[in-house]
Protein backbone atom coordinates (compact mmCIF):
# COMPACT_ATOMS: atom_id res chain seq x y z
CA UNK A 1 0.00 0.00 0.00
CA UNK A 2 2.86 2.34 0.77
CA UNK A 3 4.43 1.69 -2.64
CA UNK A 4 1.15 2.44 -4.41
CA UNK A 5 0.81 5.72 -2.52
CA UNK A 6 4.40 6.63 -3.36
CA UNK A 7 3.87 5.92 -7.07
CA UNK A 8 0.63 7.94 -7.06
CA UNK A 9 2.23 10.95 -5.37
CA UNK A 10 5.25 10.74 -7.68
CA UNK A 11 3.07 10.56 -10.79
CA UNK A 12 0.88 13.45 -9.70
CA UNK A 13 3.95 15.50 -8.79
CA UNK A 14 5.52 14.93 -12.20
CA UNK A 15 2.24 15.76 -13.94
CA UNK A 16 1.62 19.01 -12.09
CA UNK A 17 5.31 19.92 -12.27
CA UNK A 18 5.30 19.55 -16.05
CA UNK A 19 2.11 21.62 -16.30
CA UNK A 20 3.71 24.40 -14.27
CA UNK A 21 6.90 24.15 -16.34
CA UNK A 22 5.01 24.52 -19.62
CA UNK A 23 2.92 27.35 -18.18
CA UNK A 24 6.12 29.18 -17.22
CA UNK A 25 7.65 28.61 -20.66
CA UNK A 26 4.54 29.97 -22.39
CA UNK A 27 4.52 33.01 -20.11
CA UNK A 28 8.20 33.66 -20.85
CA UNK A 29 7.65 33.38 -24.61
CA UNK A 30 4.67 35.71 -24.52
CA UNK A 31 6.53 38.36 -22.56
CA UNK A 32 9.80 38.04 -24.49
CA UNK A 33 8.50 37.99 -28.07
CA UNK A 34 6.99 41.10 -29.67
CA UNK A 35 3.24 40.92 -30.05
CA UNK A 36 2.18 40.35 -33.67
CA UNK A 37 5.09 42.14 -35.30
CA UNK A 38 3.81 41.43 -38.81
CA UNK A 39 0.48 43.17 -38.19
CA UNK A 40 2.10 46.18 -36.50
CA UNK A 41 3.71 47.23 -39.80
CA UNK A 42 0.43 47.18 -41.76
CA UNK A 43 -1.49 50.45 -42.08
CA UNK A 44 -4.87 48.81 -41.30
CA UNK A 45 -5.88 47.56 -37.88
CA UNK A 46 -6.11 43.77 -37.40
CA UNK A 47 -9.93 43.83 -37.21
CA UNK A 48 -10.16 45.22 -40.76
CA UNK A 49 -7.76 42.56 -42.05
CA UNK A 50 -9.80 39.85 -40.35
CA UNK A 51 -13.06 41.16 -41.85
CA UNK A 52 -11.50 41.19 -45.34
CA UNK A 53 -10.27 37.63 -44.89
CA UNK A 54 -13.72 36.49 -43.76
CA UNK A 55 -15.36 38.23 -46.72
CA UNK A 56 -12.94 36.59 -49.14
CA UNK A 57 -13.52 33.18 -47.55
CA UNK A 58 -17.29 33.62 -47.79
CA UNK A 59 -17.05 34.66 -51.45
CA UNK A 60 -14.87 31.64 -52.23
CA UNK A 61 -17.33 29.31 -50.46
CA UNK A 62 -20.28 30.73 -52.41
CA UNK A 63 -18.40 30.39 -55.71
CA UNK A 64 -17.47 26.79 -54.92
CA UNK A 65 -21.06 25.94 -53.93
CA UNK A 66 -22.47 27.46 -57.13
CA UNK A 67 -19.92 25.62 -59.26
CA UNK A 68 -20.67 22.34 -57.52
CA UNK A 69 -24.43 22.87 -57.85
CA UNK A 70 -24.11 23.08 -61.64
CA UNK A 71 -22.05 19.87 -61.78
CA UNK A 72 -24.07 17.79 -59.34
CA UNK A 73 -26.32 15.10 -60.80
CA UNK A 74 -27.69 13.82 -57.51
CA UNK A 75 -31.14 12.30 -57.52
CA UNK A 76 -33.59 11.91 -54.70
CA UNK A 77 -33.48 8.48 -53.11
CA UNK A 78 -36.60 6.38 -53.30
CA UNK A 79 -38.16 5.13 -50.10
CA UNK A 80 -37.28 1.47 -49.53
CA UNK A 81 -40.19 -0.97 -49.30
CA UNK A 82 -41.41 -1.69 -45.81
CA UNK A 83 -40.47 -4.99 -44.27
CA UNK A 84 -43.15 -7.55 -43.49
CA UNK A 85 -41.61 -8.00 -40.05
CA UNK A 86 -40.00 -5.00 -38.38
CA UNK A 87 -36.59 -5.21 -36.77
CA UNK A 88 -38.20 -4.88 -33.33
CA UNK A 89 -40.54 -7.79 -34.00
CA UNK A 90 -37.68 -9.91 -35.30
CA UNK A 91 -35.63 -9.22 -32.19
CA UNK A 92 -38.54 -10.05 -29.87
CA UNK A 93 -39.32 -13.28 -31.72
CA UNK A 94 -35.68 -14.32 -31.66
CA UNK A 95 -35.51 -13.66 -27.92
CA UNK A 96 -38.67 -15.67 -27.32
CA UNK A 97 -37.34 -18.59 -29.35
CA UNK A 98 -34.06 -18.51 -27.43
CA UNK A 99 -35.92 -18.49 -24.09
CA UNK A 100 -38.20 -21.41 -25.04
CA UNK A 101 -35.43 -23.44 -26.61
CA UNK A 102 -35.39 -25.38 -29.85
CA UNK A 103 -38.38 -27.77 -30.01
CA UNK A 104 -37.68 -30.28 -32.75
pLDDT in tens, 29-87: 988 887 665 455 556 566 666 888 888 899 999 888 887 776 666 677 787 777 687 88
39, 46 contact by CB (below 8 A) = yes
Is residue 96 pLDDT above 60, yes or no? yes
pTM, whole model, 2 decimals? Answer: 0.33
Looking at residue 66, its pLDDT comes to 81
Give the chain's length.
104
Looking at residue 104, its pLDDT comes to 56
Find the Cα–Cα–Cα–Cα dihedral 45, 50, 55, 60, rounded to 10°.
130
Looking at residue 35, its pLDDT comes to 66
Q: Within a 13 Å sphere around the CA of 18, how many CA atoms are in the beta-carbon half? A: 5
Cα 63 to Cα 68: distance, rounded to the nearest angstrom: 9
Looking at residue 74, its pLDDT comes to 65
Amino acid sequence: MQNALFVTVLGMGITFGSILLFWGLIWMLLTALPEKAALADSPQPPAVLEEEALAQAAAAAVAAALAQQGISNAQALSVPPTAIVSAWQLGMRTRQMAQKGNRS
